[in-house]
């Protein structure tokens, strides 16, 4: 049953946040709906046979650790901030989530490619694709929650990247989940 584990995770975020700034103080009362439920919006888009995934810039565990707790799918969580990586390690331990924490910069992560790469509020899409593309299997795809700037980010990224993209429904009209596949750099090979 995942609900108690997600509640435990939420309690850990609330406990650790004042010390290491996982989420803003003003967001704490809205932790469940703004962060946990927002992460869970990616669930319908996970393939049923997904064996492993990678989450970039995991921070407080959104969306990677939340999805890992909910689905029991192993996630590699990449986080460069040592304090946040320590939080992720403790949260994974306490919830029993099958997550591996990698305390390093994304560019330095030595990970086998995965079929799914996620990231939330990490970087503009053109930069994010440069980080994610090397970590995807040939049949892989990315799920990136994006806000009001999604269309502008897609336009900017199209200058550097070729990709298939879908805009999937999210929590409100101003945001979406971008599903990106067949990602390749537009420049010379």
Average pLDDT over residues 11-28: 91
Question: N- to C-terminal Cα distance for the chain?
Answer: 48
Q: What is the pLDDT of residue 33?
A: 86
Q: Which of 111, 107, 12 is nearest to 62 (CA)?
A: 12
- How far apart are the C-alpha atoms of 170 and 146, rounded to whole Å? 9
| Confidence category of residue 30, pLDDT binned at 50, 70, 90 | confident
pLDDT of 1 over the 80 cut:
no
Find all residues with CB under 8 Å of 14, minimum gap 6, and list them.
28, 31
Q: Give the residue, 149 or 52, on which the prediction is more confident.
A: 52
Mean pLDDT over residues 66-73, rounded? 97
Which one of 112-116, 144-148, 164-168, 174-178 scores highest in mean pLDDT?
112-116
List the domain boundaries for the chain.
2-185
Burial (Cβ within 10 Å: 0-12, 13-18, ≥19) of residue 21: middle
**What is this structure's pTM?**
0.93
Q: At 167, is the secondary structure helix, strand, or coil?
A: strand
Residue 47 confidence (pLDDT) above 60 = yes
CA distance linking residue 150 with residue 108, whole number of Å: 27
Each residue of 159-174: pLDDT tens digit? 999 999 999 876 566 7
CATH T-level fold of 2-185: Rossmann fold (3.40.50)
Q: What is the pLDDT of residue 24?
A: 87
pLDDT at residue 188 in the model: 58
Average confidence (pLDDT) over 48-58:
96
């Amino acid at each position: 049953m995942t609900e108690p584990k997600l509640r435990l995770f939420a309690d850990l975020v609330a406990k650790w946040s004042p010390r290491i700034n996982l989420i803003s103080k003003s967001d704490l009362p809205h932790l469940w709906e703004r962060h946990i439920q927002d992460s869970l919006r990616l669930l319908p888009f996970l393939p049923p046979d997904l064996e492993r995934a990678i989450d970039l810039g995991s921070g407080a565990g959104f969306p990677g650790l939340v999805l890992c707790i909910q689905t029991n799918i192993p996630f590699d969580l990449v986080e460069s901030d040592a304090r946040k990586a320590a939080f992720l390690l403790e949260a994974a331990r306490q919830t029993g989530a099958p997550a591996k924490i990698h305390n390093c910069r994304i560019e330095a992560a030595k990970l086998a490619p995965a079929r799914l790469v996620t990231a939330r509020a990490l970087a503009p899409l053109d930069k994010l694709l440069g980080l994610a593309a090397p970590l995807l299997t040939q049949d892989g795809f990315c799920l990136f929650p994006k806000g009001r700037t999604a269309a502008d980010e897609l336009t900017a990224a199209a200058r550097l990247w070729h990709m298939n993209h879908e805009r999937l429904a999210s929590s409100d009209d101003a945001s979406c989940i971008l599903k990106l596949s067949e990602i390749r750099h537009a420049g010379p090979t």
